[in-house]
Structure 1
Amino acid sequence: MMYELEQRVQQPNSNQMMKMDVRKKIHVHIADHERNKGFDEKKLEVVDLSGMSLDSLPNPSLNLAIICKLDLSNNNLQNIPESLTARLLNVMVLDVHSNQLRTLPNSIGCLFKLKLLNISGNLIECLPKTIENCRALEELNANFNKLNRLPDTIGFELVNLKKLSVNSNKLAFLPHSVSHLTALRILDARLNCLRSLPDDLENLINLEILNVSQNFQHLETLPYSVGLLLSLVELDVSYNKIRSLPNSIGCLKKLQKLSVEGNPLRSPPVDVLEQGLHAVKEYLCHKINSDSSPKKKSSWMGKFVRYGTFNGHSRTQEREGFIMSEYRSIDGLASPRYMSMFSPRRLFSPRNYFGH
């Protein structure tokens, strides 16, 4: 059953009358269930209070445990009562998009069955850490808010998350724990202020769509691990400041769409980009093979000799501008002549400590 709340024709703009309608409608329908004291929990209901221009929620004495979906979208709500959220024990879908919310209640962590949370189009700056307790969550839509960070450990807990949408916020980075969202299929972080991505993205073994476009002057590089996302089908990095794509992208066998326009790319060059995705992957694969050619390695002993560790002469003093006026070789410092330099009395004397 869907709870549709009708506006009164006589006073279509009256919030007070709307609230009375809300109370009346919900009371009537919930009462039908509670007449049978042992109501069947499998017969859960949908409550739709969207588009009512509500600036606060009524607090009737209802059994909220029978609600599986609560739609409070397109209102003027500035907060959601902690007590209300804590009683939504069976809610699986909570939609509060397009309100005036600045925070979410901490009691949102009580929603153990929650699978979809839509908080887009609000004024939220950070998510409560308790959201990590919503381990059944499969989709989180936090687009068009003012988020400047995500909880540091969010990726360690939301193990069932399949879609994470945080576009149009103020995120400067994604927490490293995001790379532990192994069930994730879609990651949308466009239109933020991202400066970098986590290094170990290869753990996102099911990720199919990655969109980090339009971070404009902030995002200049992509980690090598982007090319290790073996399930990736779409990659959008357009309108950033990226100068070169990781060679590893050439290994993405399932990649079907690559958007790179609006970047000052030097690698691959423009003539390769104009030939399409196949040419780009071929070019990057060739670079991988070229870079993997064997190179002559200098021995560690040679480095010691080059930097003068065993002969008492330091070339780094001249070449790198190191200032070591009393440089001594290892043998020299270990000799009895210099042992007194490391005595506790000398090391911890006030004269040496304050440079006198």
Structure 2
Amino acid sequence: MMYEHQQQQQQLQPQLLMRKKKGVNNNDNGHERRKSIEEERFEIVDLSGMSLECLPNPSLNLATVCKLDLSNNNLQSIPESLTARLLNVVVLDVRSNQLKFLPNSIGCLSKLKILNVSGNLLESLPKTIENCRSLEELNANFNKLSKLPDTIGFELTNLKKLSVNSNKLVFLPRSLSHLTALRVLDVRLNCLRSLPEDLENLINLEVLNVSQNFQYLGTLPYSIGLLLSLVELDVSYNKLTSLPDSLGCLKKMQKLSVEGNPMVSPPMEVFEQGLHAVKEYLSQKMNGGHRTPPKKKSWVGKLVKYGTFNGHSRASGSRREEREGFIMPEYRSIDGLASPRYMGMFSPRRLFSPRNYFSR
């Protein structure tokens, strides 16, 4: 059943608000001023939090609606005919409902700037959403999305914020790299295996959050270091073992989160020195000027100094034997470094293996 009975309609009428915009130019003549006021009249329809299971029959001209708030109800669908008549809607909020799909007629909303469909049961977005070319903000968090429309980035050239966290996304479409106006991209808490290779086209991207894809995301593309406007990067709680050397080019980056990764490069002692040290390390490595940092050798010195390492080097003075590492007849764990959190990071194999310690 698509509409409620008339009694419920009457109860909903106080929720319909009509407001007039201000700011008419004083230089306009009387006729132009009246025309401008008439054109700028708009309506805000607020039906949020009313436990609606279906929409009432509207008693107003939907073409005059500027904002429609249907959030926090129990809606399972939105009529195609209703959406098609929202020709001037700028904000559409249907978050926290039971929607399993969006109407294809959403593509008729050519003036739509903000769309919030978070907290529903959506498994996909209609391809027609690409026709909403004025869209600046799309929030589809907390759904069941397994993919985004393949060509979504080709048409939504005005999109500034895309939030699709807490879904089931495995890949992001390559067309996202065409969102040159995008400033915020939030794809945390998904199942991402990788990111698009040509991210460098996102010339205005300031915030990128790809955290908490856990065991799925193991690498980052080199192009992530070409996002010259990037200020915040969160890659925490993934399966990353290294950061791209290109991150050393990000002069505007002020915040980098990498906790919860089995990180090898840069080494942990570099992270402990702060973001500046990380960028310098990666920059030197990218330019081919990086060598094994002396701090790695200092760990050996500290272990010997405090008697926690009983190894000794081979007696032979040959260069080859020196590069083979250390003999460890005994090894006693170090308090603090042997905790579960740091065991993999500071294991004897990582600290003293010839492959890692003497690599150039």
Map 1:35-50 → 2, pairs under 5 A: 40-50=38-48
Which of 190, 211, 214 is the equivalent residue of 1:213?
A: 211
Which of 73, 76, 93 is the equivalent residue of 2:74?
A: 76
Which of 201, 217, 221 is the equivalent residue of 2:199?
A: 201
Q: Which amino acid aligns with 1:19?
A: Q
In 1, the alpha carbon distance for the partners of 2:206 and 2:59 equals: 45
- Asked whether the equivalents of residues 15 and 47 of structure 2 are also in contact (C-alpha less than 8 Å), the reply is no
- Asked whether the equivalents of residues 141 and 165 of structure 1 are also in contact (C-alpha less than 8 Å), the reply is yes
In 2, the alpha carbon distance for the partners of 1:245 and 1:212 equals: 13
- Asked whether the equivalents of residues 183 and 205 of structure 2 are also in contact (C-alpha less than 8 Å), the reply is yes
In 1, the alpha carbon distance for the partners of 2:287 and 2:114 equals: 44
Q: Secondary structure at the match of 2:67?
A: strand
Q: Which amino acid aligns with 2:224?
A: V
- Match for residue 132 of structure 2? 134
Q: CA offset at residue 291 of structure 1?
A: 7.1
Which of 12, 20, 25 is the equivalent residue of 2:9?
A: 20
Map 1:184-263 → 2, pairs under 5 A: 184-263=182-261
For residues 66-118 of structure 1, the C-alpha deviation after alignment (integer angstroms, 9 at most, x for no partner) is 11000000000000000000000100000000000000000000000000000
Which of 172, 175, 180 is the equivalent residue of 2:173?
A: 175
Q: CA offset at residue 61 of structure 1?
A: 5.0
In 1, the alpha carbon distance for the partners of 2:280 and 2:157 equals: 35
Q: Secondary structure at the match of 1:225?
A: helix
For residues 27-61 of structure 1, the C-alpha deviation after alignment (integer angstroms, 9 at most, x for no partner) is 8979xxxxxxx992311111100000000001235
Name the Cα RMSD after superposition. Answer: 2.3
- Asked whether the equivalents of residues 19 and 54 of structure 1 are also in contact (C-alpha less than 8 Å), the reply is no
Map 1:268-347 → 2, pairs under 5 A: 268-290=266-288
Q: CA offset at residue 209 of structure 1?
A: 0.2
For residues 192-226 of structure 1, the C-alpha deviation after alignment (integer angstroms, 9 at most, x for no partner) is 00000000000000000000000000000000000
For residues 239 and 68 of structure 1, do their structure 2 counterparts lie closer, same or farther at Cα, with a shift above 3 Å needed?
same
- Match for residue 109 of structure 2? 111
In 1, the alpha carbon distance for the partners of 2:52 and 2:187 equals: 30
Q: Secondary structure at the match of 1:80?
A: coil
For residues 290 and 21 of structure 1, do their structure 2 counterparts lie closer, same or farther at Cα, with a shift above 3 Å needed?
same
Q: Secondary structure at the match of 1:140?
A: strand
- Asked whether the equivalents of residues 5 and 56 of structure 2 are also in contact (C-alpha less than 8 Å), the reply is no
* Structure 2 residues without counterparts, runs of 5 or longer: 20-35, 292-360
Which of 85, 105, 115 is the equivalent residue of 2:83?
A: 85
For residues 139 and 29 of structure 1, do their structure 2 counterparts lie closer, same or farther at Cα, with a shift above 3 Å needed?
closer
In 2, the alpha carbon distance for the partners of 1:209 and 1:147 equals: 22
Q: Secondary structure at the match of 1:114?
A: coil
In 1, the alpha carbon distance for the partners of 2:190 and 2:254 equals: 25
Q: How many residues align?
A: 273
Q: Secondary structure at the match of 2:287?
A: helix
Paired-residue identity, %: 75
Q: CA offset at residue 275 of structure 1?
A: 0.8
In 2, the alpha carbon distance for the partners of 1:47 and 1:82 equals: 18
Q: Which amino acid aligns with 1:280?
A: V
In 2, the alpha carbon distance for the partners of 1:22 and 1:95 equals: 21
TM-score, length of structure 1 as denominator length: 0.73
* Structure 1 residues without counterparts, runs of 5 or longer: 1-14, 31-37, 294-356
Q: Which amino acid aligns with 1:284?
A: L
- Asked whether the equivalents of residues 12 and 47 of structure 2 are also in contact (C-alpha less than 8 Å), the reply is no
For residues 235-282 of structure 1, the C-alpha deviation after alignment (integer angstroms, 9 at most, x for no partner) is 000000001000000000000000000000100001101111000001
- Asked whether the equivalents of residues 208 and 234 of structure 2 are also in contact (C-alpha less than 8 Å), the reply is yes
- Asked whether the equivalents of residues 41 and 66 of structure 1 are also in contact (C-alpha less than 8 Å), the reply is no
Q: Secondary structure at the match of 1:132?
A: helix
In 1, the alpha carbon distance for the partners of 2:155 and 2:115 equals: 16
For residues 274-320 of structure 1, the C-alpha deviation after alignment (integer angstroms, 9 at most, x for no partner) is 11100000100110111799xxxxxxxxxxxxxxxxxxxxxxxxxxx
TM-score, length of structure 2 as denominator length: 0.72
The structure having more radius of gyration, on CA atoms, is 1
In 2, the alpha carbon distance for the partners of 1:183 and 1:95 equals: 22
